[in-house]
Structure 1
């Protein structure tokens, strides 16, 4: 498996910029499990003098003893007469004894575990920060995977550390351009398929062997009982949620195309008020999102009955589409058969939905580089009762728009895709419309000629995936 550190340039640059600032820095870095927080922090710290402590789910005394040993191993003055610190007050105060030749870098990974075993730690840290640490050349990073704890406890107004953080960063999945670096020898089509299946979670990407074909990886590293990805979703659900059977039912319903609240309710028969609560929990975990037309208003987004739910985590989508429904057969070793008859025939259709997300990511990069006809400030999907458009981007004034369609099929894209797009959302006289098409297999000569005349932007998969 590929263990090389890849991507995360923006996160590393953010950490370095804070590290280069004078005086105290108190940073909070958080994100869902498997997102790559620990690896990113280790990569950042590897060429710096630092203290890295990974908290465990343990009793307070054990946690303090383990932290003490890690800190005293740095040969601070207290190590001459102590083997462990008698209290957290003394242990955390001793951070000031670390070598001050360079900025003192202290990383406490999975900080919520430390607080769970001793709820007084935020108060101790707050007093220490206010009185001493903020005036020192020190950088303290608190990292955590418990999204609800970080957002609703640590960063909440009631928490002693509220308002002390000098930087807060929620780590997201890698985007397509970073994720495909894990598969440098794959074809553009296989890179796209690998991302559509695994998403941008580094831990998942590392489970695929880039020396194996896409089919071999799916069979051996997803569908085969005993491999990491086979049980990953079930383990994560049990770690993060209660009533996993209920959540399985909800996610399965969404994976089958039930995207409206009313449709999910009809499929699951879960009471709507409870269903909304369950969906909210899945949104907080980054597994599901609620989507609105890009032209929608703030009022519309506040209406619980509006919007469409979709699974944002690619691997969860794949798991509930192809693994979860066939668990019985897979438990008895039917991996190859399930791939041949239940996965392969539907894989392109599955990838086509993710291709739209890839196209949006690509347009964002083009937008940031100033390579589009105008700079958009909003981008997403658009739909009404009769039509939908894969991509709609708008400028700040609403006077310019970019409309796009994505075709993930083996035939070249022709003008029969462009003309209906132009008819779906006729712009008003005071709105300038531009058009773009994304295609897996390229474009016909007729479309290339038409696009040249009309200024239509064309993006082929080989251009996007490299």
Structure 2
């Protein structure tokens, strides 16, 4: 709260914005609805939070960031996200030193946040990894209606630096990932992707299971946490 008071005119509104975004209200209309305010009144406060590095503005791969209406807001810092999701809702319990109880009740939040941060790290890593002997731009998420008209999401899409290739990726954070099933799902998503292209497609899976680390073939590549961390250090 002191940081918000130092950086902005008041702490109440930015504090509310950060809390709502951290807990799943990611679109401007959702945030405005929860606060009971017109969306136009939040444009400047959100811009300030972006400028200060508290939040970021995401858009789907291939969309113009200046004109797209498909925008979501996300907290930029994992520690701040943890604070708003876990610490703040349990503040009174933590003050009573009920740390173990809060920890036990927050396991689902811990797992969800870990998976979310892993996915974000996977997208960042594309620009640092040499996948299929190709250099890539930073990855982005894509969401929208597929060619079949149904809503779908793709965890990672990235263009190669020479614009000749497209990388499609699936990100998993689980003890054992079924690679065959994951690749099958990814292939269906690629076929259903509405922005069809003549660029050559490369597929990759970012997953936790070290036993399948370094598996590569002509069809897909496997990326482990060690691969990602070694490139992002």
**TM class, shorter-chain normalised?**
0.7 to 0.9
Matches within 5 A, 1:146-165: none
**What's the CA shift string for 1:174-195, capped at 9, x where partnerless?**
xxxxxxxxxxxxxxxxxxxxxx
Q: What's the counterpart of residue 166 of structure 2?
A: 401
Distance 1:423 1:308, change over 3 A: same
Distance 1:412 1:399, change over 3 A: same
**1:380 corresponds to 2:145:** no
Does the CA-based 8 Å contact 1:405-1:421 persist in structure 2?
yes
**What's the CA shift string for 1:340-395, capped at 9, x where partnerless?**
22x2333121110110122123322225xxx5443334531111131111111113
Inter-partner Cα distance in structure 1 for 2:212 and 2:132: 23
Q: What's the counterpart of residue 321 of structure 1?
A: 85
Q: What's the counterpart of residue 118 of structure 2?
A: 355
Q: Which of residues 29, 38, 47 is equivalent to 1:271?
A: 38
Give the 3-state SS of the residue equivalent to 2:142 in structure 1: strand
Distance 1:396 1:414, change over 3 A: closer
Q: What's the counterpart of residue 418 of structure 1?
A: 183
**What's the CA shift string for 1:18-64, capped at 9, x where partnerless?**
xxxxxxxxxxxxxxxxxxxxxxxxxxxxxxxxxxxxxxxxxxxxxxx
Shift of 1:281: 0.8
Inter-partner Cα distance in structure 2 for 1:318 and 1:455: 37
Matches within 5 A, 1:31-430: 234-297=1-64, 301-303=65-67, 305-341=69-105, 343-367=106-130, 372-377=132-137, 379-385=139-145, 386-395=151-160, 398-426=163-191, 428=196, 430=198
Distance 1:247 1:421, change over 3 A: same
Q: What's the counterpart of residue 204 of structure 2?
A: 436
**What's the CA shift string for 1:220-240, capped at 9, x where partnerless?**
xxxxxxxxxxxxxx3322221
Does the CA-based 8 Å contact 2:141-2:154 persist in structure 1?
yes
**RMSD across aligned C-alpha pairs, in angstroms?**
2.4
**What's the CA shift string for 1:393-422, capped at 9, x where partnerless?**
113564310011110112233211111111
Name the count of aligned residue pairs: 221
Inter-partner Cα distance in structure 2 for 1:429 and 1:335: 52
Unmatched segments (≥5 aa) in structure 2: 146-150
Does the CA-based 8 Å contact 1:413-1:444 persist in structure 2?
no
Distance 1:269 1:429, change over 3 A: closer
Distance 1:315 1:345, change over 3 A: same
Shift of 1:270: 2.5
Give the 3-state SS of the residue equivalent to 1:364 in structure 2: coil
Unmatched segments (≥5 aa) in structure 1: 1-233
* TM, length-normalised to structure 2: 0.84
Inter-partner Cα distance in structure 1 for 2:19 and 2:229: 30
Does the CA-based 8 Å contact 1:409-1:441 persist in structure 2?
yes
Normalized per residue, which structure has more strand?
Answer: 2
Q: What's the counterpart of residue 168 of structure 1?
A: none
Structure ID, larger Rg: 1
Normalized per residue, which structure has more helix?
Answer: 1
Shift of 1:443: 6.1
